[in-house]
Chains A and B, each alone.
Chain A
Amino acid sequence: MLDCKHNTELLSQSYDRPLTLREKMAMRMHLLMCRGCRNFEKQLAFIRKAARELPRKL
Chain B
Amino acid sequence: MSAIDPEALQQQRSYLLRYAMLQLRDPHLAEDVVQETLVAAIENRSGFAAQSQPRTWLVGILKHKIMDVLRKRAREPQLSVAEGEDENELVDALFRQNGRWASPPQNWNEPEQAMENAHFWEVFEQCNRRMPLNSARAFMMREFMEMSTDEICHELSISTTNCWVILHRARLVLRECLDLNWFGNAR
B57 within 8 A of A: no
Pairwise interchain contact B95-A40, C-beta atoms closer than 8 A: no
Pairwise interchain contact B171-A12, C-beta atoms closer than 8 A: yes
Main secondary structure of the interface of B (DSSP, over half): helix
Contacts of A49 in B (CB 8 A): 115
Within 8 A of A (CB), among B16-53: 18-19, 22
- A53 closest partner in B (C-beta): B115
B72 within 8 A of A: no
Contacts of A3 in B (CB 8 A): 95, 98-100
Interface size on B, residues (CB 8 A): 38
Contacts of B140 in A (CB 8 A): 51
Pairwise interchain contact B171-A47, C-beta atoms closer than 8 A: yes
Compute the total of residue contacts between A and B using a CB distance below 8 Å.
92
Pairwise interchain contact B164-A17, C-beta atoms closer than 8 A: yes
Pairwise interchain contact A54-B121, C-beta atoms closer than 8 A: yes
Pairwise interchain contact B142-A16, C-beta atoms closer than 8 A: yes
Contacts of A52 in B (CB 8 A): 143-144, 146
Interface residues on A, range: 20 to 34
Contacts of B15 in A (CB 8 A): 58
| Contacts known (A52-B144, A57-B121, A58-B18); A39 close to B108, Cβ less than 8 A | yes
Pairwise interchain contact B104-A35, C-beta atoms closer than 8 A: yes
Docked CA distance A52–B163 (Å): 19
Pairwise interchain contact A47-B175, C-beta atoms closer than 8 A: yes
Pairwise interchain contact B175-A4, C-beta atoms closer than 8 A: no
A22 within 8 A of B: no
Pairwise interchain contact B59-A55, C-beta atoms closer than 8 A: yes
**Top 5 A-B pairs, shortest CB-CB distance:** A36-B104, A3-B99, A51-B143, A12-B168, A39-B105
